[in-house]
Amino acid sequence: MSEWDTFTQIKSGKGMWLTDSKGNKMIDAVGSMWCNVWGHSNPELVNAIRSQSKKLQHSSMFNLTNEPAEKLAASLIRISPGMNRVFYSDNGSSAMEISIKIALQYWKNKGEKKTEIATVENGYHGDTFGAMSVGYVPEFFSKFKKQLFATIQFPVPNKYRVPKGFTFSDYQEHCLEKIEKRISEDNNIAAFVMESGAQVAGGVIIYPKGFQRKISQLCKKHGVLLVLDEIATGFGRMGSMVQYEEQKSIPDIVAYGKMLTGGYLTMAATLTSKKIYDSFLGEFNDWRHLFHGHTYTGNPIAAAVANKNIEMYQKNHLIKRIQKTAKTFEKHYMQISDMDIVGDIRHSGMLMGIELVSNKAKKTPIQSKKSINKIFFEEGKKNGIYLRTLGNIVMLVPPLAISEKDLDLLLKKTIETIQAARHHFV
């Protein structure tokens, strides 16, 4: 942390741009931590917040509900095939904690002994203890390893780093065979937890076609609940409203967050199928209900802005627009991959990871004594772009409604920034 002696203070945001206290402008390539949909200071979203805040700012979801939260639950169920009920929370990590608790308690409620959780290596589901346990990224969490609960982890095929002796397709088969063998032999697995469509914080590892679908089929066949995390990949980030639909894999439990409120207020949701919900029904003294609740759960202002956000997706055909605008990334593929420190680019919808290497042939990740993220942040800022890296990967996660013109500018600025930062690594 001593590298960060000062921080840039953001004063305002408009559209794709953030302005700091000294008047410098930066285009938001991070989508304000992957959640911004319509850009900053969107009048319709701001009005939704303003008008709800005049009526009811917060009231508890303990014994009560509120109108915006009920309306939002109905919309979430409508867009999420196979889902029947909604449990609110205030951030993605909590939504995943809740997903895990529901999955484990489901089996208790059914009177069955299934207590283990299967996951994929390198997944990320948030920074709380349960979320760290199911999403173990060694660089982030190794200091807490002893306190995390054990999970069964399976490898994920990454086209850029296929182990020696395998073709990519053989390796994919190999990964799926490992999963099948274990979950067909181990009757104690309660749930399979994974990000839907891609591992984002794990370095934009986009699953090969059919991978998630096959896992969902294996889960169904062997009585394992499928828990999908759409917090970073759903709501259009990868070009579909609901990524699990695109992947042809219906989960038992799914979590949304980040883009749910357009990126304006903090809210997340865990959805379950009817089968799961029904297992929690019973008389009070049956103790089947879920003991979980947060103070700000179902906050009406957050729910009101989420409702407006979903309405705007439909009114503006946002998913179609993302699919069209995302082609702008493709126009820059060649120029990016031609750079001598770029090893791989991985892209889907409004998500791109650019993996930087010091040796293209050996695929050696770039290294530096100073944080790579800090180098890119500083070079980016000079260039008028807010950039963040995850390790050696430059992440491009702009607001979903960015125009082709702004995305083109963002990509040009990214290329210039990589070129400017290059001397730190070669």
CA distances from 395 to 81, 123, 228 (A): 30, 16, 22
CB atoms within 10 A of CB 293: 14
CA distances from 176 to 107, 120, 157, 213, 254 (A): 25, 11, 9, 11, 22
Nearer to ligand PLP (CB atom), residue 201 or residue 227: 201
Nearer to ligand PLP (CB atom), residue 219 or residue 232: 232
The 13-42 site mask, x for binding ligand PLP (CB under 6 A), equals ------------------------------
Number of H helices, E strands in the chain: 16, 18
Q: Which of 91, 99, 240, 392 binds ligand PLP (CB under 6 A)?
A: 91
The 234-273 site mask, x for binding ligand PLP (CB under 6 A), equals -----------------------x----------------
**Residues of span 122-161 touching ligand PLP by CB under 6 A:** 124-126
DSSP state of 31: H
The 206-235 site mask, x for binding ligand PLP (CB under 6 A), equals -----------------------x-xx---
Asked if residue 88 binds ligand PLP (CB under 6 A), the reply is: no
Pair of tokens at residue 31: 């989508």
Piece in contact with ligand PLP (CB under 6 A), picked from 69-77, 87-95, 314-322, 337-345:
87-95
Answer left, alpha or beta for residue 148, where phi above 0 means left and psi between -120 and 50 means alpha: beta
CA distances from 199 to 131, 234, 317 (A): 14, 12, 26
- Nearest-CB residue to ligand PLP? 92
Asked if residue 406 binds ligand PLP (CB under 6 A), the reply is: no
Q: CB 371 → ligand PLP: shortest distance, Å?
A: 18
Asked if residue 344 binds ligand PLP (CB under 6 A), the reply is: no
159-175: b (≥16 Cβ within 10 Å) or e: eeeeeeeeeeeebbeeb
Asked if residue 92 binds ligand PLP (CB under 6 A), the reply is: yes
Q: Would you give the end-to-end CA distance of the chain in angstroms?
A: 25
Q: Which of 18, 26, 61, 96 binds ligand PLP (CB under 6 A)?
A: 96
Query: Which residues are 81's β-sheet partners?
Result: none
Nearer to ligand PLP (CB atom), residue 119 or residue 328: 119
Angle between helices 372-382 and 404-421 (to 10 degrees): 120
**Residues of span 170-199 touching ligand PLP by CB under 6 A:** 195
Query: Residue numbers of the site for ligand PLP (CB under 6 A)?
Result: 91-93, 96, 124-126, 195, 200-201, 229, 231-232, 257
